[in-house]
Amino acid sequence: MSARPGSATPIYLDYAATSPVREEVVAEMLGCLGKDGAFANPSSTHALGRAAARIVAQAKVRIAARIGADPDGLVFTSGATEANNLALVGVLGASRARRHLVTTLIEHKSVLDCARALEAKGTEVTYVRCGPDGIVDPDALERAIRPDTALVSVMHVNNETGMIQPIAEIASRCRAREIPLHVDAAQAVGKIPVDLRALGVDLCSLTAHKVGGPKGVGALWIRPGISIEPMLHGGEQQRGLRPGTLPTHQIAGMGKAFELADPEVEGPHLADLRRRLRDALAEIDDVHVNGDFDRGAPHILNVAFPGVDGEALRFALRGLAVSAGSACMADSPEASHVLSTMGLSDAAALASIRFSFGPTTTADEIDTAARLIAEAVPRLRRLALGAPAWCRELRSGRATGPGGLR
Amino acid sequence: MSARPGSATPIYLDYAATSPVREEVVAEMLGCLGKDGAFANPSSTHALGRAAARIVAQAKVRIAARIGADPDGLVFTSGATEANNLALVGVLGASRARRHLVTTLIEHKSVLDCARALEAKGTEVTYVRCGPDGIVDPDALERAIRPDTALVSVMHVNNETGMIQPIAEIASRCRAREIPLHVDAAQAVGKIPVDLRALGVDLCSLTAHKVGGPKGVGALWIRPGISIEPMLHGGEQQRGLRPGTLPTHQIAGMGKAFELADPEVEGPHLADLRRRLRDALAEIDDVHVNGDFDRGAPHILNVAFPGVDGEALRFALRGLAVSAGSACMADSPEASHVLSTMGLSDAAALASIRFSFGPTTTADEIDTAARLIAEAVPRLRRLALGAPAWCRELRSGRATGPGGLR
Amino acid sequence: MEYSFDVERRFDSPAGAGNIEAPREGAVAHGEAEDRSLNVWIRFEVQADGGTIREARFRAFGCPHTIAAASWAAEALRGAPVDALRSFDVDAARRALNVPKEKLGKLLRIEDALRACAERLTEAALEPLEG
Amino acid sequence: MEYSFDVERRFDSPAGAGNIEAPREGAVAHGEAEDRSLNVWIRFEVQADGGTIREARFRAFGCPHTIAAASWAAEALRGAPVDALRSFDVDAARRALNVPKEKLGKLLRIEDALRACAERLTEAALEPLEG
Ligand SMILES: Cc1ncc(COP(=O)(O)O)c(C=O)c1O
Ligand SMILES: Cc1ncc(COP(=O)(O)O)c(C=O)c1O
């Protein structure tokens, strides 16, 4: 049984951290690497450079089609982390009079840490909480908007819980007040339909590696007319907004991955797997889905197993490749800021696991995972028999403000 | 003859803009892409994540070996553009009292434009000129250093002329005054020996795609103890200095490319090609090497063809993939800031071509290129018979200050 | 986080886990320790026979290293003089099991729990002399 | 930069390039124009026969579009009334050759050179009437 602890290849249930690159995407990338391929610099004016530039243009069309947007608005970056930073720093930097940013407590670290850095340089930031279900209330968000608000930044799908945020409602409120809205759609693309035109979003962060594309490439889509400053300087690539030699193979791979990552095609399979795992885990006592199951994206199921230590649980489940919270804080012993904001106790937050699925995940893998969990959790709980209440309680009364984030 | 104007595949003589990815590098990258490879997030703590982390660690060792440095000092970026920005913004940002930067007029745009952006935010910048040979005088550089200088930034090999800058001499002067020295080695690696330990360099920008590695990945090497702030925020990857999911395949590819790009092995072939082209072009009247031939890196030959229009020359040579100056300003009609600083007239700077070679360039390709040039230049000069002197003069008396850069 | 082979083995089948069936009232002493900020709780039970520890068992809510070290301690204490409860050096367990240094904070709770056992044992340890 | 097929063809073999062998003193008028900031210089020679342009030739230091447009102009002017030198519309050449709009600045120097020819032609053009 290849999924047993200690065996060589664990079952990969960490697609929200990153995904294997699809075969068709690899093929696309290979076409841009060797001497016979479109390896030249897309900014070069010679014939080989123009061939590379055409590939970049084609990728833009594919990416834009997946998000219902105009290809010209795309600025390629090294990923969503950079796109998020560019959106926040760039819009606040270009804004003279308005020095206030609204975001939420459940954003990815690349938004939260960037917001902190902006605070240190004089931007005022309001961090809106989410409910116990992990979802931000559009009314609460609207109340945070001030006359001097320069930007609102809210993620589309939360990377830890998978909860889908009410972007359409938030966007209409931002539009009514003429405040640009930035959406981090890193976890939404390919999982749920994303239509920036219909939603009325002004800036949108994207990344390739969550949808079977390569790591190290992403984009910020910017609606024409939005004022934004570059973060990196040098060269005229991408209208000076983001210089550096364009990585054709990465962009081509992102384009292909976005073309293939169709939520209409892949969503139902993911949703089946998610439901299957939820149903199997419901057989174990005292197991809780973090968030509102019915409002989650199809590829993420975050589950709390109160009464066990999180690290022990993950080690017991080393036959599964899963994350506690997000990969970018994988080595830290702190409880997830998202789960804490939702009101989970530290112990329960630490004892939560994010399971996430991809197009090649099978029902068999889910069943094996459920069996391993059904063995590990009761065993660890027996070992902790007699432990005090704090080891077992799911929720804390405590509220977490932005000060509690790090 | 595939090199004739209008034919499908031009002869690629633009390796300084970017290079095809080596076969062995492609193989290394492929090992990190598919489901059977090391595709996981290197920051994930599960077994698959740790497998990816080991690949990253191995790549660091290979990269560090090529530049004579400690692997722990490497911070991966999206390329040398970002590395240059991080070095300048990061060191100036971390420096409280010292607000002065010394750099040169021949740096890559990613240094010059970043220095401009810093100026706009209160940093004082001194731009040191080069001589007519394209080489910066260490004494002139030393004179620019002030008590409040926070950083000196000088490139190792100029990307337009290939001129090797006297880094060892500059480094010893910086060390004597305890000023950190940043070196952009994007064009030096693989072409000439780079030994940061011996040189005494404190920060060094690297990129993969100039040495047969993939585009979109590079690194900043930072000596331990150098104070530097991050530009991007979010997540704890790379000690917080540069967050974002590490692109394992890109890093693995960079590692392999740096391992293979041995100047001792590849330098002599490049030098032969360069000399061969220079000798062939010497047969044409009034042709001039920009810079000091004997002090150039082996992969770049920059030549002025006074008396012809640059765009017409490049179009006549469309059987060759070559650049006027650097690719990042390929579409701009402005004369190269580097050649202008060296004292070339605008017309001669515009009528200069950078030929650059790689390990797979052949002597045959050089010979064909030389023949095409020997046909095109006299033809265009005949067409311009009777043109005024400014069309034909090589040098301008005019001096260019920093104000003349854009 | 790195786990040695010994940690892995003891985590998968933790020798010494569980409770002691008390042969008679008072023959078993227990002691607990916890550190909520470190997410760790440990309980030991020891049964003494005169000046000798006949049996030691633990329960734990904690990381794999904590569980492995508690298991190691339970085995090491069996047959040792009761003084060992106070002098037990958890860093020896840490070294034996190849546990990273940064886990010492959690592991020290094992010493606390054993000392708590020793406190209670002073009374209970009288029993065998009587019986 | 994009080059149409016509630009390419005229650049590779520019019809109308060169000088005119003057049949006799004064029969050929020339005109030049330049814009150093645009890196362009153009010289035209025209030979008139009464009110008609018998021949037009050019030389140019300039971009492929400029060379192509000058070649187009030289051919278009052959057989045209001398007034055409003043009324020549280089934008027609631009459109015919599919030259990008941003090149118009350079191309306008062709009109200047032709007008300079026209200036000088006023005297020379008298000749055929006498001969
Ligand atoms: C919601 C969200 N935003 C941003 C990121 C950062 O993306 P990248 O790894 O491309 O920098 C991630 C994933 O890491 C994410 O899940
Ligand atoms: C000297 C020099 N520095 C920096 C760069 C920028 O490198 P990258 O394309 O990796 O951003 C280049 C090439 O483009 C270069 O030649």
* pLDDT tens profile C89-122: 999 999 999 999 999 999 999 999 999 999 998 6
Residues of chain A found within 8 Å of residue B111, distances taken between Cβ atoms: 234
Q: What is the domain class of B23-260 according to CATH?
A: alpha beta
Q: Phi and psi (nearest 5°) for A18?
A: -170, 165
Confidence of residue B105 (pLDDT cuts 50, 70, 90): very high
Identify the nearest ligand to the CA of B299 by its number: 2
Q: Which among B35, B114, B314 has CB closest to A234?
A: B114
In a domain, C3, yes or no: no
Task: Give the separation between CA B317 and CA B297, rounded to whole angstroms.
Answer: 24
Task: Give the separation between CA C72 and CA C59, rounded to whole angstroms.
Answer: 13
Cβ–Cβ gap B384/D61 under 8 Å: yes
A308 pLDDT above the threshold of 50: yes
Confidence of residue B240 (pLDDT cuts 50, 70, 90): confident
What number is the average pLDDT over the span D74-102? 96
pLDDT tens across A138-155, in order? 999 999 999 999 999 999
Q: How many CB atoms lie within 10 A of CB D23?
A: 14
Smallest CA–CA distance from A331 into chain C, residue: C1
Residues of chain B found within 8 Å of residue D66, distances taken between Cβ atoms: 309
Query: How far is CA C78 from its chain centroid?
Result: 10
Q: Is the CB of A79 under 6 A from ligand 1?
A: yes
Give the pLDDT of residue C123. Answer: 64
Which residues have C-beta atoms less than 6 Å from ligand 2?
A: A 244-245; B 79-81, 84, 108, 110, 155, 159, 184, 186-187, 207, 218, 328
Sign, CA dihedral A86-A25-A214-A361, equals: positive
Task: Give the separation between CA B309 and CA B352, rounded to whole angstroms.
Answer: 9
D62 pLDDT above the threshold of 90: yes
Cβ–Cβ gap B385/D59 under 8 Å: yes
Identify the nearest ligand to the CA of B42 by its number: 1
- Give the least confident one: A171-185, A315-329, B247-261: A315-329
Give the pLDDT of residue B77. Answer: 98
Contact yes or no for B393/B306 (Cβ under 8 A): yes
- Give the least confident one: A245-254, B189-198, C25-34: C25-34
Count the domains in chain C.
1
B7 pLDDT above the threshold of 70: no
In a domain, D61, yes or no: yes
CATH number of the domain encompassing residue D54:
3.90.1010.10
Confidence of residue A326 (pLDDT cuts 50, 70, 90): very low
Taking the Cβ of residue B385 and every Cβ of chain D, the question of whether any pair is shorter than 8 Å is answered with yes
Would you state the CATH architecture of domain B11-16+262-396? Answer: Alpha-Beta Complex (3.90)
What is the residue whose two structure tokens read 């060797």? A34
A80 Cα–ligand 1 center, Å = 5
Physical contact, D and C (3 or more Cβ pairs within 8 A): no
Domain containing C85 equals 10-19+27-123
In a domain, C2, yes or no: no
B383's enclosing H/E stretch is helix B363-383
Predicted structure pTM score: 0.94
Task: Give the separation between CA B32 and CA B34, rounded to whole angstroms.
Answer: 6
Give the pLDDT of residue D21. Answer: 87
Give the pLDDT of residue B400. Answer: 45
Give the pLDDT of residue D128. Answer: 52
pLDDT tens across A250-278, in order? 999 999 999 999 999 999 999 999 999 99
Confidence of residue B5 (pLDDT cuts 50, 70, 90): very low
Three-state SS at A220: strand
Cα D7 to Cα A10, A405, B317, D15, D68, distances in angstroms:
62, 63, 15, 12, 5
Q: Which among C11, C61, C63 has CB closest to A387?
A: C61
Q: Which among B217, B234, B250 has CB closest to A108?
A: B234
Confidence of residue D129 (pLDDT cuts 50, 70, 90): very low
Query: How far is CA A148 from its chain centroid?
Result: 28
What number is the average pLDDT over the span A370-375? 98
B81 Cα–ligand 2 center, Å = 6
Physical contact, D and B (3 or more Cβ pairs within 8 A): yes
Dihedral in degrees, nearest 10, Cα atoms B254, B258, B259, B265: 150
pLDDT tens across B267-298, in order? 999 999 999 999 999 999 999 999 999 999 99
Give the pLDDT of residue D131. Answer: 39
Confidence of residue B299 (pLDDT cuts 50, 70, 90): very high
Written as six digits, the tokens of A287 are 């197991």
B399 pLDDT above the threshold of 80: no
Taking the Cβ of residue B200 and every Cβ of chain A, the question of whether any pair is shorter than 8 Å is answered with no
Position in ligand 1 atom list of the atom nearest CA A157: 1
Provide the percentage of residues in chain A whose pLDDT is more than 70. Answer: 93
Residues facing B157 on adjacent strands:
B164
Residue C67's closest CA among C131, C127, C6?
C6
Determine which of D39, D42, D103, D107 to mutate to test the interface with B (most B C-beta atoms within 10 Å): D39
Cβ–Cβ gap A312/C34 under 8 Å: no
Q: HEC states along chain C?
A: CCCCHHHHHHHHCCCCECCCCCCCCCCEEEEEEEEHHHCEEEEEEEEEECCEEEEEEEEEECCHHHHHHHHHHHHHHCCCECCHHHHCCHHHHHHHHCCCHHHHHHHHHHHHHHHHHHHHHHHHCCHHHHC
Give the pLDDT of residue A236. Answer: 78
Average pLDDT, chain A: 93
**List of chains touching A (3+ CB pairs within 8 A):** B, C
In a domain, D1, yes or no: no
Rg (CA), chain C: 14
Give the pLDDT of residue B403. Answer: 32
Confidence of residue B404 (pLDDT cuts 50, 70, 90): very low
Cα C37 to Cα A333, A334, A335, C41, C106, distances in angstroms:
10, 10, 11, 11, 10
Segments making up each domain of chain A, as ranges? 11-16+262-396, 23-260
Cβ–Cβ gap B243/A109 under 8 Å: yes
A236 Cα–ligand 2 center, Å = 13
What number is the average pLDDT over the span B148-157? 98
The beta-strand segments (E) located in B85-186 are 100-104, 124-128, 149-155, 181-184
Exposed e or buried b per residue across A230-239, where buried means at least 16 C-beta atoms within 10 angstroms of its C-beta: bbbbbbbbbe
Q: Is the CB of A290 under 6 A from ligand 1?
A: no
Position in ligand 2 atom list of the atom nearest CA B107: 1
Taking the Cβ of residue B33 and every Cβ of chain D, the question of whether any pair is shorter than 8 Å is answered with no
In a domain, D129, yes or no: no
Q: Is B204 marked active-site?
A: no
In a domain, D130, yes or no: no
Contact yes or no for A343/A393 (Cβ under 8 A): no
Least Cα separation, residue B273 to chain D (angstroms): 29
Residues of chain B found within 8 Å of residue D13, distances taken between Cβ atoms: none
Residue A115's closest CA among A402, A404, A340?
A402
Three-state SS at B165: coil
pLDDT tens across A39-73, in order? 999 999 899 999 999 999 999 999 999 999 999 99
Cβ–Cβ gap D61/B333 under 8 Å: no
DSSP string, A238-272: GGGTS-S---HHHHHHHHHHHHH--HHHHHHHHHH
